[in-house]
Structure formats: structure tokens, C-alpha cells
Structure 1
């Protein structure tokens, strides 16, 4: 059940990130986290299919394809958010570097920890990075451009479920600790996105009743 919840929630994150990115003409996932995510899903999809067809392999492929669409929004709109001195060739070189680094990091985890531990350790560490970078994205854009409450809540739930599964049920303290830290940052990010709505509701309640 927890695996299903996580899969549905993360699929919702990707679908909403594509929708919001195209709507706002920007990218809806921090690029460093996007690079690591795309590398993780591509790497483990290949590993899964190398030993046969599996549900996890199919999910990894679906997520990797969704990530490719988000990568497109980054390549299509990302340069516009950078300073003028970042030329097209420089932006292209930076993009190659950051996505290449994403794959290098995943393969280093595999080489050091083996597939079982590497898949979990890298997933939770990059998830924690993503949680912090979403807050940084909100700050750098001075608001919720290219972001949505749906992404924030789905990410929180998509991380909470495997935290309970691996950290609590399977008794992995390292993953439990990373999952708790992700939850702290995710809830803080949700709070940032909710703040304008709560402030607006508060102003509405404080307005005088014109019928009096």
C-alpha cells in the first residue's frame, strides 16, 4: 500500500510539473534535482529490464519519460531566467555538465554501495536536496512561478510513504532520518505556498461587513 501511495504521488508530481512548467513557460523542478532524478530513473530502469520485465522497471521508465518532458521545459525556458552573460553555448555546456554529473553521481553510488543500498540512499539524499532547492526556487523567483501546492503536497506524501516503509517497517535509521528531514523541508515549502492564501483569507475576514 505504501509503495502504491508513493508511486501515485510521485507520478502526480511529474504530471503537475509538466503542466505548470508549460503553463508558466518555465521549468517546475530545480535543475540539480531534475538531473539526479532523471539519472536515477534511467539507471535503475535499465537495471530492472536487464533481468526481465518488472512493475518497478515500468514505473521507472514512465517517470524517466516524464522527466524528459520536464528537461525539455528547462532547456526551452531556463536560459531566460539567467543573466545576460549566459550565452546559448554557455547554457548548453552548463546543461551537459549538470546532467552528466547526475549520472556520474548515480553510478558512483552503485559502484560503492551496490544496487540495493545505492538505489535507496541516493533516492533519499537527492530527495532531501530537492526539498531544499524548492524553497530556494521560491525565494529566487520571489514567488510561486512554476510551482504549485499540488506538487508540494504530492512530493511530501510521495516521500512520507517510503520513509515509513524503509525507515520504520524495515528499520533503517539512516533512511528514517533523511525522510524526517525531507518532511521538515517539504512542510516548510507547503507553508510558503499557503502563505498568500492564508493572508488573503485573513484580510477577507477582517474587512467590515457592509450590511452593518
Structure 2
């Protein structure tokens, strides 16, 4: 059972990353909320590096593959993310903001490791950032006023990819903290799936790029 759940989670999250790359390139945007993306990328780099240093395991290989996939998703954000922001956000400001978010992702992961140790930190941080991602996906849907840069496949695969380790660590290993976070993830993930599948015709305008938010005119001019 443990092997089945581990494989299910690994395959499902791989589907999330591959589909996020495809949708991001198709719609000329990024398909994962940037705060969650930064935490995910940092998680994979930190734990892949740890596995390489201590003896590469199958999970370590998966972490390397996921890290490469997240790097591609990150490149779509860096290329198209500024178009999602108000016009006053200049290129230098966007670059500084992106560096801050990415650096914060690494700082958070290292703080988890320092406090909990590698084994527990890898689980606790993963579920907490997963819950954040679940909420941010719904926020991204609302901010974009529809499913542009998103897909039901991403939503369903993310749900299954989180549900499997929730059962493994939360139910089978009886970790109440993980079980609670995993259950909350499922609630948000199912809401997000419902948003994406409720009206298939709503995806017709998914490729439209929103106009930048303009500053109000200066009455003194």
C-alpha cells in the first residue's frame, strides 16, 4: 500500500508540472501561483541537494526531476508575469519582487529544516505549502476572472497527488497534523475543481491577456 500511494503521488505531481508547463506556454502566462511556485522550487532544490549529498534515493531522483520542471514553470513566470501586474511595476521592480519571493521560499524551507530536522521538515513544509497553493489557485482563478492559464487536469492531479500522501502519512502512520492539513487541502482542491468544470464553455476566452491596470489620472494636470 505504501508503494502504491507513493507512486500515485509521484505520478500525479509529475502530471501537474508537465501540464502547468504546457498550459503556461499555450496561454503565454504562468500556471502556478508565484508564492507557491517559489516554495515548491525551494523545497525540491533543498531536499534534492540533501539526497545527493547523503546518497541518492528514488525520491531524490524524483525531486531532481520535479525541480527541473519547476524551473521551467518559473521561467514562464519570469517571462510573462509582469504582464499580470499594474503598469507602474517596472522591469527592475518586477525583478526585485521576484528575487524577494524566491529568496523567501528558500529561507522558509531552511528554517523548517533547522527547527524540525530534515525528515519532519520535508513533510510539514510540503503540506503547509500545499494548502497555501490550494488557496492561491482559487485566488488566481478569481484574479484572472476565469481559467486562463489553468486546467482541470492540473486541479485533479494536484488533488490526487496530495490525497495519496495524506492517506499514507495521516491515516496509515496516524499523523494528526498531516491528516488535518491534507483534509483542508482536499476541501480547497475540490472547490477549485468545481470552479474549472462547472461551465466548460467559460474556457473559450482563456487565451485573452488582461490589460494592465492603469493609474487614475492626476487631477492637478
Query: CA–CA distance in 2 between the matches of 1:149 and 1:155?
Result: 10
1:158-208 CA-to-partner distances (Å, cap 9, x unmatched) read: 0000000000000000000000000000000000001113999xxxxxxxx
Matched residue SS, 1:84: coil
Query: CA–CA distance in 1 between the matches of 2:52 and 2:75?
Result: 25
8 Å CA contact retained: 2:146, 2:202: no
Query: CA–CA distance in 2 between the matches of 1:193 and 1:176?
Result: 26
Matched residue SS, 2:145: coil
Query: CA–CA distance in 1 between the matches of 2:14 and 2:79?
Result: 22
Matches within 5 A, 1:1-212: 1-197=4-200
Of Structure 1 and Structure 2, the greater helix share is in: 1
Runs of 4+ in structure 1 displaced over 6 angstroms? none
5+ residue gaps in structure 2?
204-221
TM-score (norm 1): 0.93
5+ residue gaps in structure 1?
201-212
1:12-51 CA-to-partner distances (Å, cap 9, x unmatched) read: 0000000000000000000000000000000000001111
How many pairs were matched up?
200
1:114-151 CA-to-partner distances (Å, cap 9, x unmatched) read: 01110000000000000000000000000000000000
Query: CA–CA distance in 1 between the matches of 2:48 and 2:90?
Result: 34
Matched residue SS, 1:28: coil
When the two chains are superposed, the root-mean-square deviation of aligned CA atoms in Å is: 1.2
Matched residue SS, 1:83: coil
